[in-house]
Amino acid sequence: MHAQLPAIEADRLVKHYGESIAVDGISFAIETGSITGLLGGNGAGKTTTIGMIMGLIAPTSGAVKVFGADMATEPYRALYRMNFESPYVDLPHRLTVRENLKVFGLLYGLDNVSARIEKLAGELDLTEFVDRAAGKLSAGQKTRVALAKALINEPDVLVLDEPTASLDPDTADWIRSHLERYRARRNATILLASHNMYEVERLCDRVIMMKRGRIVDDGAPDDLIARYGRHNLEEVFLDVARGRREPNFAGDAAQ
Partner 1 sequence: MTATHCPSFSFRRIGAMVLRHWYLLRSSWPRLFELMYWPMVQMFMWGFLQLGVAQAAGGTAITATATFLAAFFLWDLLFRGQLGFSMSFLEEMWARNLPNLMISPLRPIEFVMSLMAMSVIRLAVGFVPVTIMAIWFFGFNLWGLGLALAVFFANLFLTAWAMGMFCSGLVLRNGMGAEGLTWSLMFILLPLACVYYPVTTLPGWLQPLAWALPPTAVFEGMRALVLQHTFRPDLMIWAFALNAIWFVAGALSFVLLLRGARKAGSLIAVGE
Q: Which residues bind partner 1 (CB under 8 A)?
A: 15, 17, 22, 47-48, 50-51, 54-58, 76-77, 79-84, 86, 88-96, 99, 102-104, 106-110, 116, 133, 149, 153-156
Q: Are 177 and 200 spatial neighbours (Cβ–Cβ below 8 Å)? A: no
Name the minimum Å distance from CB 65 to partner 1. 16
Name the minimum Å distance from CB 55 to partner 1. 7
Residue type at 247 in one-letter notation:
P
Residue 249, Cβ neighbours under 10 Å: how many? 12
98 or 214: whose CB is closer to partner 1? 98
99 or 234: whose CB is closer to partner 1? 99
92 or 229: whose CB is closer to partner 1? 92
- Give 53: exposed, middle or buried? Use CB within 10 Å, 0-12, 13-18, 19+: buried
Name the minimum Å distance from CB 134 to partner 1. 9
152 or 197: whose CB is closer to partner 1? 152
Whole-angstrom distance, CA of residue 253 vs CA of residue 162: 28
**Cα-based distances in Å from 72 to 25, 64, 165, 194:** 16, 8, 29, 25
Handedness of CA 89, 92, 97, 103 (dihedral sign): negative
Name the minimum Å distance from CB 41 to partner 1. 18
Name the minimum Å distance from CB 252 to partner 1. 23
Residue 246, Cβ neighbours under 10 Å: how many? 12
Which is nearest to 8 in space by CA: 25, 26, 31, 24?
Answer: 31
94 or 244: whose CB is closer to partner 1? 94
